[in-house]
Amino acid sequence: MILSESTDLLDGLNALDPEALLQWAVATHGARAALLTSFQNTGCVMVDMAKRAAPGLRVATVDTLRLHPETYALMERIEQRYGIRIERFKPEPECLERMIAHHGEFLFFDSQEKQELCCHIRKVEPNERALDTVDVWITGLRRDQSDARKYAPKASRVDHKGRSIVKLAPLIDWSEDQVRAYLAENDAPYNPLYDQGYASIGCVICSTPIKPWEHKRAGRWRWFNHMGDDHKKECGIHTQGSGI
Ligand code: SF4
């Protein structure tokens, strides 16, 4: 389905189902559209959907250089299974070296400020470079992932360095059960850490398994849980200019 810019683009996009959104992104923006994913289950669903609905969709990730071995192995499996090449955006070596020299490798334990600094250098800045290459940013955000994401739209416009880009979250209203059912029905590759109790997977140490009664992002930066500020448990990628 092709929507013209003269119609109310966002209203039209918000009404589309996930496959139609992926299709629209590739059909209208080609290589200027990309799925930026950290290979949570939602990202794996969309990689699988794209093989039918949007072949040729760019798939990119931020490699913080601190991901779980299971995540690196998953990326290789995905590349082999779908015959695609995942673009990897990594931290700037000089910034990384400077940060570690000043604050140590494990600075994220010290304070929320230093955790955010680490996330900025390892995640946000490489993500910004990835966004430089797109006009349509496809993400795996879901409303049930955290309080901060409860009202996130399926389609929105966000500012990136003074440029308006379309941000799509095709699975925004899917539940965890729907996501898992899709992966099982399609025998799609996913991160085995989900089977070990992880609900949200990022860097080693900073993401841990959760208990059944805990919030989905409780396993992220677990040592900050006593602060009771779950809404602050974001790395910064989805809080800059996104309105959430
Ligand atoms: S999740 Fe942890 S290791 Fe990864 S970038 Fe953020 S603070 Fe650094």
H or E element that contains 113: helix 112-119
Cα separation, 145 vs 222, whole angstroms? 16
Report the pLDDT value the prediction gives residue 244, as an integer from 0 to 100: 30
User: What strand order describes the sheet that includes 136-138?
Assistant: 87-89, 58-62, 33-36, 136-138, 163-168, 155-160
The one-letter amino acid at 29: H
User: Which ligand 1 atom minimizes the distance to the CA of 206?
Assistant: 2
Given its phi and psi angles, is residue 105 left (phi above 0), alpha (psi -120 to 50 degrees) or beta?
Answer: alpha
pLDDT tens by residue, 141-174? 999 877 777 888 999 999 999 999 999 999 999 9
Report the pLDDT value the prediction gives residue 145, as an integer from 0 to 100: 76
Cα 71 vs. chain centroid, distance in angstroms?
A: 13
* Homologous superfamily in CATH for domain 9-232: HUPs (3.40.50.620)
Report the pLDDT value the prediction gives residue 48, as an integer from 0 to 100: 98
Domain range list for the chain: 9-232
Tell me the best of 71, 106, 123 to mutate to test the pocket of ligand 1, counting ligand atoms within 8 Å of each CB and taking the most.
Answer: 123
Cα separation, 36 vs 58, whole angstroms? 8
Cα separation, 1 vs 134, whole angstroms? 20
User: Which ligand 1 atom minimizes the distance to the CA of 114?
Assistant: 7
Is 235 annotated as catalytic? Answer: yes
**Residues in the chain where the model's pLDDT stays below 70:** 1-7, 228-244
